[in-house]
Amino acid sequence: MIALLAGTAIQLIAMQATISGPTDAFRGCLREAVTKAKSDKVPGDGIEAYLKTACTVQMGALKEALIAFRMKNGMTRKAAGSDAEMTVDDYVATPSDNYKYMASMDAPKAAPAAATPAPTPAAATQPPKP
């Protein structure tokens, strides 16, 4: 009984390891792509596409690892693919949202409209004293 439990634990650890490598590679690629996007001055609304394009290889490897892992755990390929897509989108969302926020903070602020100075009363416009 203990041997069966230990064998199952070892198998689960091995399956998890097949996901951690592609996950680490994808997250590392996302970090590098965000740094490059800053130097390329990518606008906030284009960052998500930029990240997915920059990390296409790592994203594909992660999706395949996730699909294989989930299929081993009894999911259908279609469900596993959909789940893997959502997982990848979640990984992209965090750096994308952070980049958009920082881009909005770094954007030049619109200068307030120059206020017209209030007219100052001139000595000539004061009423005469009786």
For residue 83, with 0-12 CB atoms within 10 Å meaning exposed, 13-18 middle and 19 or more buried, which class applies? middle
Domain coordinates in residue numbering, the chain: 17-101
Rounded (5°) CA angle 51-57-14: 115
Query: What distance lies between CA 101 and its chain's CA centroid?
Result: 10
Compare 108 and 12 and report the one with higher pLDDT. Answer: 108
Percent of the chain residues topping a pLDDT of 70: 68
81-124 pLDDT per residue, tens = 999 999 999 999 999 999 999 888 876 665 555 555 555 555 55
16-30 pLDDT per residue, tens = 667 899 999 999 999
Cβ atoms < 10 Å from Cβ of 44? 17
**Mean pLDDT over residues 46-50, rounded?**
94
- Which runs of consecutive H residues, i.e. helices, occur in the chain? 2-40, 47-54, 56-72, 77-106
